[in-house]
Structures are given as C-alpha cells and as structure tokens.
Amino acid sequence: MNELTISLDAKASRPLYEQIYEYIKQEIQNGNLPCRERLPSTRRLAQYLEVSRSTVTLAYEQLLSEGYIDNQPGSGYFVNDLEGLYRLPGEESFSGQPEREMQESWRYDFSPSGVDLGSFPHNTWRKISRELLMQENQSFFQLGAPAGEEELRRTIAAYVRQARGVRCQPQQIIIGAGNDYLLMLLNAILGKHTYALENPTYKKAYDIFRTLGQEAVAVETDESGMRVEALAASGAQVAYVMPSHQYPLGIVMPIGRRQQLLNWAAERDGRYVIEDDYDSEFRYKGKPIPALQGLDENGKVIYIGTFSKSIAPAIRISFLVLPQGLLERYRTRGSRFSSTVSRMDQKILAEFIRSGAYERHLNRMRSIYKGRHDALLEALKEFPEIFRVSGEYAGTHLLVTLPECISEERAVEAAKQQGVRVCGVRACCIGDYKPKETMLILGYANMHEEEICQAVRLLGKLYVKLASS
C-alpha cells in the first residue's frame, strides 16, 4: 500500500497524531484495511501528509500497543488479523475519553492542564523500555518496596537537590501514582488535621481533603500569596501552598512571606506546610525559584513533585519528600500501602533521568513553551484595553483580567460559542468567595504559536464587542 488518504485538520483541538491513529483504526475495524495489508512507512506517510515523522510514529506506536498492526523488522508495518475482535459500546479513543465525549471539539483550547504530547520523547522512552525488557529480569514483575524503587528514589534525590535546592536523602522520598494518591497517603500519615488552602486554589486538593474526612478551610491571599496572619487565625495545623507558581493566580511567593510561613509552622508541634511544586521546571524570567523545602531548618515542609507536567500526565509518577521527623510515622502508618507505580515504569523513569534524556527533554520543552508563552503575550498586547496580564513568568498558563463590564460567565460562554475553551478563576474558589475582578486562566501548552495568535485575536474582537454592548 502506498498512501493513506487521511484528511487532517490542523485547526482541530485533537492533535494530528490522534487523527492519524483514529483514521487507521477505523479503516481496520471497518475492513477497509484487510489483514496483512502493508502500511506506508512512517517516513513516506509523513512526507505525504506533510507532518513530522514523529507525529506518524506516535500514531503507529499506539496502534502497535493496541494490537491493530504489527511491526516486522526490515519489512515494515502490517495490519493484524482481528477476526472476532470485540468492540465495547462507546469504545475509548486515543485520548482516553469515550468517543461520544470527543464529539465536542474546540477550535482553540486554552486549558491550563494541557501539555504538548506531540513532543513526548517517544523514541527514547521506547528504547529504554526495550533495553530493560531484554534483561528478562523476573523481579521487574514482582511487588516492589512500598516507598518505590531505591534506584529511582536516589535519582530523584540527586535531581531535586541540583534543580530545586531540595535537601533530602533517598529514604525520605515516597513514589506514588499522581498527587491524588500522595495526598491520600499523607492523610494516613498525618492523621486528623485541619488543612488551610489559599483561595482561589487547586480545587481538587481541597475536595480530596474533604472527601477523606479532614476539615479544610480557605485562607485569604494577597499579592505575596497566603496571608500568614489569616492562616494563624484559621486554627489550621497544615498549610497547603504552591509558592513557586501559585495556581491559578501565578503568584511567586517572596522570601519574606516564605520565612513567615516557616516560622508559623515552627511555632508548634504538629504543624506542617505541604509544598506543591507542580510546574517549577518552566520559568521564563530570571533563575528558577528554589523550593521552600530548602529553607526549612525545622523539618516542617512536606514537598510534592510530579512528572506529569514535564513529561506527560499518563506517566502518573509523583513523589513526596517527607521530613525526617515523619519517617517513623510513615513506617508505622503508611508503609502498609503498596506502591501504586509499576516497577518497570519506575526503572524506565530512573534511566530516563540518569542518562540525561530528561534534561534534554526539559530543555526542549522550555524552548517550545517559551515560544508559545512569548507568542501569547505578544498577541495579548494588541488588545490592551481588554487584557491585563499577570502570573506570566512561570508554568504553562497565565492570567488575564477583563474589564468590569464583562462577567466571567459571559466571557466563558461567549468564547465557547466561538469554539474557544477558556477557564474562569471562580471554578478554583472555595465557598462563597468570588474574585472582585473577572479573571480568565489561559493555558498555552495545547496550541502552536500560530493557533495562539489566531485564538487571541478572536477573543480580543469578541470581548471588545461585549465591552461596548
């Protein structure tokens, strides 16, 4: 077979590799691509479709992993025999969402949770995976240590010390499948407490604490982050903060406020600060801000890091750095929970970091995201009367404040009618608190620079009309 007549839509919200994957999968399932039919090489198909070869490779690898095609070294890719294939109703698509949910597509997606999956280091990850599997080590498939593989914990300890100024030993690190699991583990370790969160905040953390039966309270913030006077008045024993790039406001907590927070925690036994360092790898002005944990002299900071933003959400590997004083409590309360990350995935990540591939990937992603960050800022300058920007020097999102005459509900709904996804800050607020101004969160990881500029022009013209109506 020479070509595949795939019609790609570069403006669609779904990445190009998903479109290629879905087209070929449907052709196979419908019988249009029969068993043993040879597919075009990744290079030829990429040239024909005028896309990068890595885009085609990513689609082919997903088809390989699901068994739709087979790769015969030296011969190419062939359609597998799928006779008797059973398809579940509402079978999931490449993105992991049911196809009926994928029908609502966005022309432009400013989701703050997005990452550039098209830049995933697929070839390197596959190479490391293959090399590990060739070792035929049966221990890879046995239940590992509850805290995670020692090799990965050593690797992470060295990395966060160099990159984030986190001071820790490997035995202080606990590996888990995502921050949600780690917060549940902390619930078991710390026991009954009152948790204080900034308002607005990462609402999911608030919901998790409440679901686990903990009391969670909202604390006022100012331009420096959580107000320590309000924290002290709240009666909370644990403060959950994001000092390097507060979500969603983008505040970078200054050194004075950080010291106040540490002093609050040191005043009484049982007080702790949870530092969620979710996107510290990406900073576009000045040097990276060292972690709060590195300033802690009293063992009061519990540090949470993740690879979801820097690699991919599906990696599902996050980690805790516990203070020395909590290790015994972890051994008696937390070690009964088995590790939630497979040993193979942990070993792949350890080698990915150790080999220098992670650093190279981060450097590449910093360059890509900075280009999109700069393109977004430049596009917003065309509408100074509409967009006031803040929180723009880190992470993969920024905040824009709109004129008072445009409500958040109206701004979000009007954008939705034009096929543009934007998120309002009110969704991140706890209780009855409402921001005094209309603020939108604009994530830029999902879109290329040209798409970002087009989307901002559309929003700018739309909001100019709303402001004048």
One domain for residues 214 and 299: yes
Q: What is the CATH number of the domain that holds 79?
A: 1.10.10.10
One domain for residues 198 and 181: yes
One domain for residues 407 and 347: no
Give pairs for 233-237: CB < 8 Å, separation 24+.
Answer: 234/194, 234/196, 235/194, 236/193, 236/194, 236/195, 236/196, 237/193, 237/194, 237/195, 237/268, 237/270, 237/271, 237/272
Residue 6 in any domain: the answer is no
Domain termination residue (choose one: 302, 324, 355) = 355
Tens of pLDDT along the chain (469 residues)? 446 778 888 777 678 888 898 889 888 888 888 888 899 998 888 888 888 888 888 888 888 867 788 888 778 888 887 654 444 444 444 444 444 334 357 899 999 988 888 888 889 999 999 898 888 777 777 778 999 999 999 999 999 999 999 999 999 999 999 999 999 999 999 999 999 999 999 999 999 999 999 999 999 999 999 999 999 999 999 999 999 989 999 898 999 999 999 999 999 999 999 999 988 888 877 666 789 999 999 999 999 999 988 888 878 899 999 999 999 999 999 888 888 999 999 999 999 999 999 999 999 999 999 999 999 999 999 999 999 999 887 789 999 999 999 999 999 999 999 999 999 999 999 988 888 899 999 999 989 999 999 999 999 999 999 999 8
- B/e letters for 211-248, b = 16+ CB within 10 Å, e = fewer, are eeebebbbbebeebbbbbebbeebebbbbbbbbbbbbb
One domain for residues 289 and 144: yes
C-alpha–C-alpha distance, residues 30 and 37, integer Å: 14
One domain for residues 420 and 383: yes
One domain for residues 147 and 258: yes
Residue 201 in any domain: the answer is yes
Q: Whole domain around residue 379: which residue ranges? A: 359-468
